[in-house]
């Protein structure tokens, strides 16, 4: 969390909270099939290099069947 603020008012009706967050994760999403019935797989990585390595692996598997 990078920051958190509130308006200083107690009570559920008047209180306002604001959070500032930063996520530094790379996400790879792969779908096999159509958008309604396809199978979706997801991975998260800490670095862009690791995420791109997974993309290359997925593309290599698909290329083998062509």
Helix or strand run (H / E) with residue 64: helix 48-64
Q: In this predicted structure, what is the pLDDT of residue 52?
A: 96
| Per-residue pLDDT reduced to its tens digit, 7-66 | 998 988 899 888 888 788 999 999 988 777 788 999 999 999 999 999 999 999 866 554
Q: In this predicted structure, what is the pLDDT of residue 45?
A: 94
Does any domain span residue 59?
A: yes
> What total of structural domains would you count in the chain?
1
Cross-strand partners of 49? none
Q: In this predicted structure, what is the pLDDT of residue 38?
A: 81
Q: In this predicted structure, what is the pLDDT of residue 26?
A: 93
Does any domain span residue 64?
A: yes
CA distance 26 to 42: 11
Q: In this predicted structure, what is the pLDDT of residue 54?
A: 96
Quote the domain boundaries for residue 41.
Answer: 25-66
* Residue 53: how many other CB atoms lie within 10 Å: 13
């Amino acid at each position: 969390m990078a920051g958190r603020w509130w308006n200083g008012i107690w009570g559920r009706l008047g209180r306002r909270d604001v959070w500032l967050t930063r996520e530094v994760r790379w996400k790879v999403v792969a779908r096999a099939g159509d958008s309604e019935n396809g199978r979706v797989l997801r991975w998260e990585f800490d670095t862009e290099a690791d995420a791109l390595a997974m993309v290359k692996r997925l593309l290599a598997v698909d290329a083998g069947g062509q």
